[in-house]
Amino acid sequence: MAERGRIKKLLEQAEEALGMNNRVRIVLYPMKYKVASVSLKSKIIRINRNFVSDFDDKELYYVLVHELIHIKIASLSHGEKFYEVLNRLFSLDETEEIENGIVKKLLGAGISTKKWLT
Ligand SMILES: [Zn+2]
């Protein structure tokens, strides 16, 4: 499946950017609202297989970085520590632009939620 190779490549790039080793697994999984979620315990990132092809590389990369940061800081919170790491890779403007693009695509698919990422 082509998407798998694309995700794997983006995951490697994201892990490298965050200085992480290759310990994270990706599972493509159907979800109703979420684009992605993460399990800190099993180090598995779930990507919503229903949306994955709608997102471009930049958006998928952003989503992977987001979930990897949770694993890196060993926390699901979006506190100071989370944003300190995120903002090393994405400026606030970039973050806003990418998130708005993703939300627009979700709305286009009839999905209105603020909790599209874990
Ligand atoms: Zn999160």
DSSP string, 29-79: E--SS-SEEEETTTTEEEEETTTGGGS-HHHHHHHHHHHHHHHHHT----S
> Under a CB-based contact definition with an 8 Å cutoff, are residues 60 and 10 in contact?
yes
Q: How far is the CA of 85 from the centre of ligand 1 (A)?
A: 12
In a domain, 95, yes or no: yes
The rounded Å distance from CA 88 to ligand 1 centre is: 16
Cα(108) to centroid(ligand 1), Å: 22
pTM of the model: 0.95
**Gap from CA of 48 to ligand 1 centroid (Å):** 15
Nearest to 86 by CA among 107, 56, 65: 65
- Helices then strands, counting H and E runs in the chain, come out as 4, 3
Domain boundaries, position 18:
2-108
How many domains does the chain fold into?
A: 1
* Structure token digits, residue 94: 């970039």
For position 74, which CATH number holds? 3.30.2010.10
* Per-residue pLDDT tens over the stretch 60-92: 999 999 999 999 999 999 999 999 999 999 999
7-21 pLDDT, tens digit per residue, is: 999 999 999 999 998
